[in-house]
Amino acid sequence: MVEAERIVIRPVISEKSYAQIDHHRYTFEVHPQAHKTMIAQAIEQLFNVTVISVSTANVKPKPKRRGVSRGRTAAWKKAVVQLAPTDKIEFFEGR
């Protein structure tokens, strides 16, 4: 099994992700080849919580422009993790 630190890249900090914390749902950027079972095991190992479900989505790159130069943002994979009602991740609670 791959290390949990390599599966979970970073938490996603946005208004939408913070609104879901009240429902025990936390959003993370994860490794593109990670599947739901790997993500659930990594979250449980890193934060010592119980994962109920995992939803994943591939975020497509967006076109960006600065002056005449054009480019694209990077594509990445997002995972929304539902925790047990008794669990929470303290990292997100310091809003």
Within a domain: 77: yes
Per the CB < 8 A criterion, the answer to whether 73 and 62 are in contact is yes
Within a domain: 49: yes
Q: How confident is the model at residue 95 (pLDDT cuts 50, 70, 90)?
A: low
Please provide residue 34's backbone torsions phi and psi, each rounded to the nearest 5 degrees.
Answer: -75, 135
Q: 54-91 pLDDT, tens per residue?
A: 999 999 999 999 999 999 999 999 999 999 999 988 87
**Total domain count, the chain:** 1
Within a domain: 95: no
Query: Residue range 14-25: average pLDDT?
Result: 93
Q: What is the CATH number of the domain that holds 80?
A: 3.30.70.330
- Of 92 and 50, the structure prediction assigns the larger pLDDT to 50
- CA distances (Å), origin 45, targets 10, 38, 58, 63, 68: 15, 11, 23, 36, 46
Within a domain: 46: yes
Within a domain: 91: no
pTM: 0.87
Per the CB < 8 A criterion, the answer to whether 1 and 41 are in contact is yes
Identify the pLDDT of residue 5.
85
Nearest CA to 85 out of 24, 12, 40, 10 is that of 24
Within a domain: 94: no
Within a domain: 33: yes
Range of the domain at 72: 4-86
Q: 23-35 pLDDT, tens per residue?
A: 999 999 999 999 9
Structure token pair of residue 65:
């422009």
Identify the pLDDT of residue 94.
59
Identify the pLDDT of residue 1.
54
